[in-house]
Chain A
């Protein structure tokens, strides 16, 4: 990793605590106590090639034996899954945008093409005859699709706040709930800056993506990545994925898709970089992702400090009210 991590002797010791709470942390698995850990793995979800087939959702449900969690017709385009949750570990978002047709990569207007005439061969050469500018006044539809998943943050708030140690960092650098330890306190649920982890009400415990921990041990890729027909979901060593993603976004920019941008790839962002990051074609919030997520424990030292001030204030005030007031008899 090219990131500066302050390994100079002097700054190292003081930087350790901070590094554990926020900022770049090159080896989360090592820091969690795994010696000789394998390379950190992750997902790179390239939404520019997602076709919205939901094979990832199905494969995830099947492999992990996740229970059914409601069948609704939402009216949110083709998204009836709605969001990630305790029983939804992959969620494909569908966004239909009305845009000026000319701004689309394929700006040709085919509305006046007579396909039957083309098929019978009586009217050849109509395709592509339209002037590129013709679509400018007409509205087009852009369809964005993106398969969302647990981000397996470098600084995972869910893991940080878990009081039982049920949430752990695996040797692969991923974040997993130990189901035999979780007591369903629910603290991780509001702690997650992405709104990923949730409680299964009938079970009491919390559940989320494990990045198919059981498959990783056997050298297999996670079920969603395996099932993805367009390689929108790519699995591999995180560093390799980051390089591949940088190349891909450059390639798209060269092709004129200027809206392409990476999300969650930077090791110095608010969560120290995501283990599962994305190539998006619009702002993150369009896909239901927070634009600038921050791990809540970054501010924990400051919270404890203010709690200490408040506690001292309480003691001071209590001492003051019991002091005999000047000019009055004590005992009153």
Chain B
């Protein structure tokens, strides 16, 4: 594995393959220790954690749409979304506990409050949001305690947007290049993807005459999702290719197709055909789930290859020394 190349010597030197279609700004050459990763990839199971991101988004954004539906007199939509939010957040919490190395110690999550730990903040958020979503659902389904139910609906709608977006901070607050370096865009990707899922659920579960806002939300969320993902990938530079290649690339690509098809189908045909609305909604839900799996896999891929650790850090150092000493770069 030891190689000698143009004066500089390194172990496991690698050159970017001819596969890359577009030219990257960063220099392609780098050195590593036998090509081994510098960072540890997440120990998380993709089903648990990407699933937890997806379900949290579906729940959080769903609570917001549910409150909107209730306020504007769309009881069937409100009921459906409250139910899906309660179930989704329960599933989300279950996935989180299932992923723990010591599930029996789940309660330790509420042992401290740490603003520096998005997972701690999220645990407390779920501790508040979960009961609110469950209460809103229970009241809507049974028709009992309507005032408490309204309070819970408002509470869930207030915490919902935080539930839908904090997971982006959770992922970004790591050393994983594809997540950390996207920390400005990832919350928007997650918020848009969450709204895609929630509007999809509304389309699947509510009657056509109530689903006007869901169709508009689907189109807006789809546009936001495509734009935010595109901006994120562009801004990431070299690391952006982890969202375009391999397993993550396939997931993101399929997600884009499903999301776009779902939103267009719902917008164009969903107002007339219940079948089209259901199909469009299902496509939006699937697209949102695949987006989260794609983001997860991009993170894993970016941690696995030392290129994504070394090259961006090197170019950061180069631009820093250029700033302090312009002559040195000449």
Choose one: B44, B187, B221; the contact of A303 (CB below 8 Å).
Answer: B187
Q: Are B40 and A204 in contact (CB under 8 A)?
A: no
Interface residues of A in 290-322 (CB under 8 A from B): 290-293, 296-297, 299-300, 302-304, 306-315, 317-322
Q: Which residues of A contact B108 (CB under 8 A)?
A: 164, 166, 181-183
With an 8 A cutoff between CB atoms, is A214 at the interface?
A: no
Choose one: A181, A196, A197, A198; the contact of B111 (CB below 8 Å).
Answer: A181
Among the interface residues A204, A205, A318, which one has the most CB atoms of the partner chain B within 10 A? A318
Residues of B contacting A: mostly: helix
**Interface residue tally for chain A (C-beta within 8 Å):** 85
Q: Are B299 and A310 in contact (CB under 8 A)?
A: no
Q: Are A184 and B101 in contact (CB under 8 A)?
A: yes
Q: Are A163 and B109 in contact (CB under 8 A)?
A: yes
With an 8 A cutoff between CB atoms, is B306 at the interface?
A: yes
Q: Determine the distance from Cα of A162 to Cα of B109 in the docked complex, in whole angstroms.
A: 9
With an 8 A cutoff between CB atoms, is B246 at the interface?
A: no
Choose one: B1, B10, B168, B316; the contact of A310 (CB below 8 Å).
Answer: B168
Q: Which residues of B contact A224 (CB under 8 A)?
A: none
Interface residues of B in 73-127 (CB under 8 A from A): 73, 99-103, 105-106, 108-109, 111-112, 114, 116-120, 122-123
With an 8 A cutoff between CB atoms, is A191 at the interface?
A: yes
Question: Contact string, B9-37, partner A, CB cutoff 8 A, digits 1/0?
Answer: 11100000000000000000011111011
Q: Are B9 and A99 in contact (CB under 8 A)?
A: yes
Q: Are B101 and A185 in contact (CB under 8 A)?
A: yes
A-B contacts counted at CB < 8 A amount to 272
Q: Determine the distance from Cα of A131 to Cα of B3 in the docked complex, in whole angstroms.
A: 28
A75-B1, A185-B119, A332-B212 given; A292·B314 CB < 8 A: yes
With an 8 A cutoff between CB atoms, is A76 at the interface?
A: yes
Q: Determine the distance from Cα of A97 to Cα of B9 in the docked complex, in whole angstroms.
A: 7
Q: Determine the distance from Cα of A59 to Cα of B158 in the docked complex, in whole angstroms.
A: 55
Q: Determine the distance from Cα of A142 to Cα of B36 in the docked complex, in whole angstroms.
A: 20
A96-B2, A160-B116, A163-B123 given; A190·B313 CB < 8 A: no
Q: Which residues of B contact A293 (CB under 8 A)?
A: 175, 313
Q: Which residues of B contact A96 (CB under 8 A)?
A: 2, 11
Q: Determine the distance from Cα of A17 to Cα of B114 in the docked complex, in whole angstroms.
A: 13
With an 8 A cutoff between CB atoms, is A98 at the interface?
A: yes
A163-B117, A166-B108, A204-B101 given; A192·B68 CB < 8 A: no
Q: Which of the candidate stretches A36-44, A235-243, A281-289 sits at the interface with the other chain?
A: A281-289
Residues of B within 8 A of A (CB): 1-4, 9-11, 30-34, 36-44, 61, 64-65, 68-69, 71-73, 99-103, 105-106, 108-109, 111-112, 114, 116-120, 122-123, 161-162, 164-166, 168-170, 172-176, 179-180, 183-188, 190-191, 194-195, 209, 212-214, 216-217, 220-221, 224, 299, 303, 306, 309-310, 313-314, 316-317
Residues of A within 8 A of B (CB): 21, 74-77, 79, 82-83, 85, 93, 95-99, 139, 142, 157, 160-166, 181-187, 189-199, 201, 203-206, 282-283, 285-293, 296-297, 299-300, 302-304, 306-315, 317-322, 330-332
Given A95-B33, A96-B2, A311-B187, 19 further pairs, Cβ under 8 A: A98-B9, A139-B4, A157-B175, A161-B119, A163-B114, A186-B44, A192-B39, A199-B43, A286-B10, A303-B169, A306-B187, A310-B188, A310-B191, A311-B164, A314-B161, A314-B191, A321-B68, A330-B72, A332-B212
